[in-house]
Amino acid sequence: MPQPTAATPSFWRDDALPFIEVRAITDGRKVRYGRHAHSTFSIGAILGGRSTYLNGDSLEHIHTGAVVVINPDVAHACNPAADEAWTYRMFYIDVDWLARLQHALGFGAQEGFRHFEQTLTWDVKLFAGLNTLYDLLVDPHEDTLRKESAATQYFTLLQQTLNPAPDQEASGATDRRLARAAEFIDNNYTRALKLEEICAAADLSPSHLIRAFREQYGLTPHAYVVNRRIEFSRAQLRRGHAIADVAAEAGFADQAHLQRAFRQFVAATPGQYRG
């Protein structure tokens, strides 16, 4: 079997996150696209090299730092402009998933998906955030809840930066809803949790939940889950339980996952803590 090279595209997808797919290539100088369209919403980051970027009737010359935004069913093409390594990452997002996020941020549900008018940006935060999201998604050690939360946070930022709408969620009952979310986590943190479950318990949209929860508790819902698991682990370790058993009981994927989280939250290993 031939070994992958820098010129070979790689694809990431996860059945647990069916709304997002990613394509990446390190050296795309020989890549050639004809005009084509996707039924998905597409967004990409250029990490190296130069290329032409055709979106509809607009042609741009772009380079490192560019973020391209492509609405569904719009003909487009990106191709390298010179004989130099062209590095990029492209994300393909389910339109219905993104439309639900837009509705939660203020667009009426009757409008369907709201197209982005700006199809090219050099916004530093959007560029860095897209690459941070990529690193998180392809990391096999990160859990689904954190990946889904990170995707929701990034596309909320994208929406609010390039395509803002007034947030129409009622704020009067938010504190009570957040308390319900925290209570739900408290009662279920030792099993694999999905973001939609926490949202359902709180009756809040993903974007609103993540933002308001962090403001209220100083942690994202995912970090709150991990924190609860660490507190449980500390109690079990003090009782002398084996580290591998504690990892399973607390809801971590494996002992290595517990080790990483424990270092982050306690600044010590489980073994050091147990003594």
Q: What is the DSSP string of 15-42?
A: TT-TTEEEEEES--TT----SB--SSEE
pTM to 2 decimal places:
0.74
pLDDT of 206 above 60:
yes
What is the domain extent for residue 255?
169-275
Considering the domain architecture, whether residues 115 and 210 belong to the same structural domain is answered as: no
Coil vs helix vs strand at 37: coil
Q: Is residue 181 part of a domain?
A: yes
- pLDDT at 184 exceeding the cut of 90: yes
**Residue 138: inside a domain:** yes
Of 118, 90, 104, the closest CA to residue 28 belongs to 90
The per-residue pLDDT of the chain, averaged, comes to 87
Is 84 in the same domain as 198?
A: no
100 in the same domain as 14: yes
From the centroid of its chain, how far is CA 132?
8
Considering the domain boundaries, does residue 151 fall inside one? no
Does one domain contain both 179 and 256?
yes
Whether 245 is in a domain gets the answer yes
The CATH number of the domain holding residue 112 is 2.60.120.10
Confidence of residue 273 (pLDDT cuts 50, 70, 90): confident
**pLDDT confidence tier of residue 256, bands split at 50, 70 and 90:** very high
The answer for residues whose C-beta is within 8 angstroms of residue 13's C-beta and 6 or more apart is 20, 21, 22
For the ranges 24-33, 53-62, 148-157, 218-227, the lowest mean pLDDT is seen at 24-33
How many CB atoms within 10 Å of residue 40?
20
Residue at 153 is within a domain:
no
In terms of pLDDT, which residue wins out, 231 or 243?
243
Instruction: Kindly state whether residue 214 falls inside one of the protein's structural domains.
Output: yes
* 30 in a structural domain: yes
Give the total number of structural domains in the chain: 2
Residue range 77-93: average pLDDT?
86
3-state SS of the chain: helix, strand, coil percent to 5? 45, 20, 35
**DSSP 8-state assignment for residue 110:** G
What confidence score (pLDDT) does residue 90 get?
A: 92
pLDDT surpassing 80 at residue 72:
yes
Residue 105 DSSP label: T
pLDDT at 82 over 80: no
Same domain, 68 and 183: no
Residue 257: which CATH number? 1.10.10.60
Mean pLDDT across 255-266: 88
Residues 162-170: what's their mean pLDDT? Answer: 62
116 and 182 share a domain?
Answer: no
Alpha-carbon 80 to chain mean position = 27
pLDDT at 168: 46
Same domain, 82 and 38: yes
What is the band of 170 on the pLDDT scale with cuts at 50, 70, 90? very low
Share of the chain above pLDDT 70, in %: 92
φ, ψ (nearest 5 deg) of residue 10: -115, 150
pLDDT of the residue at 3: 44
Question: How high is the pLDDT of residue 130?
Answer: 97
Assess if residue 163 is contained within a domain. Answer: no
pLDDT digits (tens, 9 = 90+) for 99-134: 999 988 887 666 688 889 899 999 999 999 999 999
Q: What is the pLDDT of residue 26?
A: 84
Based on the domain organization, do 58 and 106 belong to the same domain? yes
